[in-house]
Chain A
Amino acid sequence: MKILVCISKTPDTTSKISFVNNGKEFNSEGIQYIMNPYDEWYALVRAVELKEKNGGSVTVINVGDVSSEIVIRKALAIGADEAIRVDVVPESSLQVAKEIAAHAAGYDLVLTGKETIDYNGAEVGAMLAELLDLPYVSFAFKLEKEGEDWLVSREVEGGTETLKVGGPIVLSAAKGMAEQRIPNMQGIMMAKKKPLNVVASIGAEKGSVVASHEMPPAKSGVKMIAPDDMDTLVKLLHEEAKVI
């Protein structure tokens, strides 16, 4: 079984977010990057589990410059067998999907995280499926192999849905798919010896460009209400916070 996992880097969740160049560009100064948690904890770990159970190989692919290599190495330390880095700084989901599609033929399963935790686009998986002309299941929290088919469960409003899909598929992984795996000493040292192939960009079109970003307004200060003044509290929750 050949599995491809698409991984990207995102700012650490504790990062202070700001933009430069009139809101067009993300300010990466002082930012620590991590592997997008949906890619790492769910897509990649499930891929490694499936490989451990059924044999085969796991390849990770990233579209990014050399600064992505630390997260690629981490993916190899967690258990991927080889990696591809498409050497271009990504600017849109369509561009990423097209760059990946150029290397995604011949896999039995292509996994992405359900979204990245920075831009929350949740687009690459669907675009990739379209480009590869494969079935697509989004937000899957469970994935099992059943004979030649895949059994995939996903959350739907008020419940869950389980699908049976045949043949190669593209799937976006959500919470529940697997448990976080911490790379161990052996895996980390082995990662250095695994192949990391850097390939040139195909020059895929971007489709869209960012016009600007706006930060949410600063939160207003905390209001202290005396414990016996329930009326004011209820009024504020209703009128200002609008939570009741």
Chain B
Amino acid sequence: MATYMNMDQLRFLLYEVHGVEDVFQLPRYSNFDKESLEILLDSAKAWADQDWYPYFREMDEKPAYFKDGKVIIHPHVKKIFKDAGDNGWIGMYFDHEHGGMQAPHFIVNAINHIFESANNHMTGYMGLTAGSAHLITTFGKQELIDRFVPNMLNGKWAGTMCLTEPQAGSSLSDVKTMAYAQADGSYKIKGQKIFISGGDHDATSNFVHLVLARIEGAPAGTKGISLFVVPKFLPETEAFNDVITAGDFQKMGQRGYCTTHLVFGENDGCVGWLVGEANLGLKQMFQMMNGARIDVGMTATSTATAAYYASLQYAKERPQGRRIESNGRKNPNQEPALIIEHADVRRMLLKQKSIVEGALSLLLETAKHVDFALEGEGDQKKENHLLLELLTPMAKTFPSERGKEAIDNGLQVLGGYGFCTDFILQQYYRDIRIMSLYEGTTGIQSLDLLGRKITMENGQALQLLMARITETNQEASNYDELKPYVKQLEARLGDVQKVLGRLIPMAMAGDYESFLADATIFMEMASGIVVAYQWIKMATAAKKALVTGTGAFDTAFYESKIHTMKYYFKYELPKAIACLETLMNEEELTIVQEKQEVFG
């Protein structure tokens, strides 16, 4: 079987960089230990090898489709769904009392990396089911939990998140779906939702939709949106609940993961139940959003990881051209070199490696903050919460934006074959394209980062992150080989301060449009620097293992980490300097000006 991810890389990050054992100290996770984690990782990989990866291409070649009011998906999803439910994979992080395993989010994310690298079309079905069940267990009354959650966690029913409407995508304040209160405490739901992932298919017998809607008479804007649970069939009677599937969007990627158009209450027969408090729906939904965004970041990382290994394999096998000899010539009588010997191909491979491993490290660090933000105590809890808030938009955006670039380079490694459907790179290239769109586009993530997270609580989150980076830099400075890179990272952190020194006064003066106009450029700069910090962390761990001889991996493994860090600093980090130039430039070229016809 082709390599689609590397367990050693994952183990290095878990044990030697991010200290996974720390989370076992939290009382909620005291059931876990290194042995159970090891068996979990191996079991996840064995399952992914057996049931996930072999269906990955097929799910693209035989995509989901809509016929006679139904959506048909690849038949193997049904088996996976059932096995996932029977074997406790859907409810991994849920409480024991809800039938879950109380697994740390850190571990759940590591396991998701294995599954998502094997098959990025499949994980969404399970992830959304867990996410929507989690909304019910967190905010819903016991009665709702009892009615819906057990069958979601056991894989009989699927869950979905219904936010988007034709006129309300990025701007959910424009949601129009209505909820009318009934005498028995339930609501009649009426409206349309589009782009609903996993909204209807033949792998499960029922669907539990978590729907954003306005209660009649609720205030306009985000403060008038409530959250409802709306099943396709009523749990008790199995009666149809007037949720009609109007279609399945045909897409360029993730074609095995259906995307539906749902119509609620076309015949006035759709009933829903309020989850949590009225008018707090969006707020509740956003509390869960960090998890969903980390999920997308991990899917992007994993998709780009699989693409990297596919291109690496090809580069090791394809003979083409000859290396230039010391006399500046090539010897035509020599056997052709493998393309992995050409500097330009190595650059493309290193680029991918530095992006995917850097992204994976960032995602795992973010997931660790989730555990401590939920289960930590006092200051530790608060600090982890702030760091989580700050890192989440970057953990979603860096892998989805830079992952695209990585896969583009992976495809380039294959030359013309990369463009052909016989090879898998084109599928990864298409699949990753959605990651910077759903769960909030890159534009929206960037507004969140600069407009909310940087300034949140007087910039405390940023200060905390800076303190962590300084700590890592100090440790790295124990090793002479790493010192020049620490200096570069410090210089880039200084650049961030410079940029904020220019931008923040705009916000303080109330000129928000100018403040946020280049938020996406700021995201590119900041997330690139945060990944450089991840590389310093990884290189420090590698150096430590080499010096002390205590690591679990061989010398070549650790040296490759340090080498890849150096690549990142030479080729990728300087892009932050270009961002700095743009962000410090005072010309305003993108903001709408009166009477200016830019695009005429």
Contacts and interface: CB of A to CB of B under 8 A. Distances in A.
Nearest to A76: B39
A73 B92 CA distance: 19
Interface stretch (A109-117, A184-192, A198-206, A235-243): A184-192
A8 B87 CA distance: 26
Interface in A59-82: 69-70, 73-74, 77
Interface in B18-55: 31, 33, 35-36, 38-40, 42-43, 46-47, 50
Interface in A135-187: 180, 182-187
B31 A184 contact: no
A183 B43 CA distance: 6
A186 B87 contact: yes
A104 B576 CA distance: 67
A187 B36 CA distance: 10
B54 to A, nearest CB: 14
A86 B209 CA distance: 54
A30 interface: yes
B46 A185 contact: no
Contact of B31 (A30, A77, A187, A192): A192
Nearest to A193: B31
Contacts of B47: 182
Contact of B36 (A30, A180, A189): A189
B50 A182 contact: yes
Contacts of B38: 70
A192 B33 contact: yes
B46 A186 contact: no
B31 A188 contact: no
Interface residues of B, number: 21
A49 B36 CA distance: 23
A182 B43 contact: yes
Contacts of B89: 184-185
Nearest to B92: A185
A69 B89 CA distance: 24
Contacts of A184: 43, 86-89
B292 interface: no
B170 to A, nearest CB: 36
Interface string B42-72: 1100110010000000000000000000000
B39 A191 contact: yes
B554 interface: yes
Given A182-B50, A185-B101, A73 B88 contact: no
B220 to A, nearest CB: 45
B39 A70 contact: yes
A141 to B, nearest CB: 21
Contact of A77 (B33, B39, B50): B39
A186 B50 contact: no
B31 A69 contact: no
A142 B92 CA distance: 36
A189 B101 contact: yes
A185 B88 contact: yes
Contacts of A73: 35-36, 39
Interface string B256-299: 00000000000000000000000000000000000000000000
Contacts of A69: 35
A185 B100 CA distance: 10
A77 B46 CA distance: 14
Contacts of A77: 39, 43
A67 B42 CA distance: 17
A11 to B, nearest CB: 15
Contact of A189 (B31, B50, B554): B31
Contact of B35 (A30, A70, A185, A187): A70
Contact of A74 (B33, B39, B553, B554): B39
Nearest to A34: B42
A69 B39 CA distance: 11
A30 B554 contact: yes
B39 A186 contact: no
A30 B552 CA distance: 7
A73 B43 CA distance: 13
Nearest to B47: A182
Interface string B193-212: 00000000000000000000
Q: Which of B31, B43, B47 is packed against the most chain A CB atoms within 10 Å?
A: B43
A183 B39 contact: yes
Contacts of A74: 39, 42
A188 B43 contact: yes
Contacts of A189: 31, 36, 88, 101
Interface in A20-61: 30
B517 to A, nearest CB: 47
B312 to A, nearest CB: 17
A187 B86 CA distance: 11
A191 B42 CA distance: 15
A188 B36 CA distance: 6
B193 to A, nearest CB: 32
A23 B13 CA distance: 35
A34 to B, nearest CB: 8
Contact of B40 (A30, A180, A188): A188
Interface in B75-90: 86-89
Contacts of B40: 185, 188
Contacts of B88: 184-186, 189
A183 B553 CA distance: 26
A62 B89 CA distance: 29
A18 to B, nearest CB: 13
Interface in B201-243: none
Contact of B46 (A30, A182, A192): A182
A35 to B, nearest CB: 10
A192 B101 contact: no
Contacts of A185: 40, 87-89, 92, 101, 103
Most buried by B among A186, A188, A191: A188
Most chain B beta-carbon neighbours within 10 Å: one of A69, A70, A184 = A184
A186 B481 CA distance: 46
Most buried by A among B33, B39, B101: B39
A183 B50 CA distance: 13
Contacts of A182: 43, 46-47, 50
Most buried by A among B36, B38, B103: B36
A191 B101 CA distance: 13
Contacts of B33: 192
Contacts of A192: 31, 33, 35-36
A51 to B, nearest CB: 18
Contacts of B35: 69-70, 73, 192
9 contacts: A69-B35, A74-B39, A77-B39, A184-B43, A185-B40, A185-B87, A185-B88, A186-B87, A192-B36
List the 8 shortest-distance A-B pairs measured between CB atoms, nearest first.
Answer: A184-B87, A185-B88, A186-B88, A183-B43, A182-B46, A182-B47, A182-B43, A188-B39
Interface of A: 30, 69-70, 73-74, 77, 180, 182-189, 191-192
